[in-house]
Structure 1
Amino acid sequence: MKELRNLPAPAKLNLFLHITGRRADGYHLIESVFQLIDWQDTIHLELREDGQISREDLLPSAGASLPPDDLCTRAARALQSATGCQWGAHIQLEKRIPAQAGMGGGSSDAATCLLGLNRLWNLGLPLARLEQIGLTLGADVPFFLRGRNAWVSGIGEKIEPLPDGMLHPDQHFLVIKPENGLPTPAIFSHPALKRDTAHAIILVFAVNPYDFGCNDLQTVGELIEPQVNQALAILEKQGLKPRMTGSGSAVFAPCPVGFQPDTSVIPPSWQQRVCKTLSIHPVMKLLED
């Protein structure tokens, strides 16, 4: 096998996100439900026989230029290091998920690279080993490797797939990403961050999964970036119930099928999209074929 093309890397939304504590090493303990959506990046992998890892940005006009050393290249090198693999890869990335949005785009890219390169290099690593490698790259990477909507806790490494039927299979969301992003370290280090929310109960969540709990990071996001407040207000004026996803700055709200947002009130430099839910990471089916 010389290449794998059109590998999807979907974004996620945090239907809620509670901070329940903090470990001695500084990592925050969370409880959240991660929902996959169809706003996604696309990755193409080509085998290199010289052992080198290279990356090409195919959509540089879609946003800010990618750094030379992004999560895709780091994932590839981490997999090489863990296995002693002598193969290399050229990674082509069609980047559509906005950065500093709280949508997990970089982590999803890393997970898709790990899954794809495990196949391209014929390594045969089990999912559990890929998750160990993924966790060294970012707390959200193991979720994308599992590839199913899940109840996530710990620092992101405890992943429990949600029972079938708990989430609506055809739920739609209006997602707005303001022009300004939010750096995750600034959110988690802020003194105003609430870090002692009581543990959530999954059966209570299941009663109304799209109006449960809150995002504990949102209060800090609103303090740091006024555009978060503006985005929330835009959704509220359209009769929706919004909240921030992850560490922001993207906000989202459930909306009816066929909902047409009033795009005239959304600044032209912002990104917006009506997204559909995914029940399973689409790369899983591709790699099984």
Structure 2
Amino acid sequence: MLKTRVITAIVLLAVLLPVTLFAPIGAFGALIAFVVVFAAWEWARLLKLSGTGPVIYAIVAALALVASTKLGVGYVAPRPLFEAAAIFWVLVGPFALIRKPVLAEGGWRVFLLAAGIVAFAACWHALVAARATGVAFVLSLLLVVWLADIGAYFAGKAFGRHKLAPAISPGKTWEGAIGGWLVVIVVAFIAALTGAFKPTLFFTLLERLGSMRALIALTLLVVFSVVGDLFESMLKRQAGVKDSSGLLPGHGGVLDRIDALLPVLPLAMLLLG
């Protein structure tokens, strides 16, 4: 299992890193669109669309993505799309995690299928806009989620005592979440202080918002990285599966890798707008 996980990670890095670092924005956007469409397919499967339903949904997501480019792309980011996605994650995400409705039935399924189109399109636009700002900027944006996740894992292992959401994800703890937040804040402080590789998300937040509001903004992003992770965990638990799919051997599915990014990306772009 570990060997498979390592091999998959190496292959992913071999594809993603060169495209992110060196390819034109068009090639980067095409690769991210490819990823997002597969995530949409997994989203439909978790919502229990049967037969060719998930494939049709993925095609609709792809067409919606193409249509959404009329709202803007690159430096002209589609703020209304980010706002719609942010409203979903800020209002619906926490509500669903607290109330725990059955998401793959009735009105909830219809709503989430529609909301998913918006969320995936916003994710794509946010990444393309971030890449247009600079390689360091898009990497620092991704780093917020990666650091929060890594910090939460090790802090949870070392100090975890109080379950964060035992009915949804028993392994997550409050201590882990706080540890992840601390790692993000420390790295952000160092990066902003040194001004290295700017423009980065950290330096830009400090420059535009000031130290206190930048701290609040980063805290908000970390909180919603957890919300995105837990929301997908609830979808999987209700669907009775461990992973969103088996597309990435040893790592689960595409949605398992980008769940925390879905709320963080549009929120970050709005905070910087």
TM-score, length basis structure 2: 0.28
TM-score, length basis structure 1: 0.27
Greater percentage in helix: 2
